[in-house]
Amino acid sequence: MSDLSQLPLAVGHMIGLGALGSCVGIGLMASRYLEASARQPEMMEALQPKVFLLAGLLDGAFIISVALGVWFALAAPFPT
Catalytic residue, chosen from 58, 59, 66, 68, is 59
CA-to-CA distance for 25 and 5, rounded, in angstroms?
32
Q: Is 76 left (phi over 0), alpha (psi -120 to 50) or beta?
A: left
| Whether residue 59 lies in the annotated active site | yes
CA-to-CA distance for 69 and 9, rounded, in angstroms?
10
By annotation, the residues acting in catalysis are 59
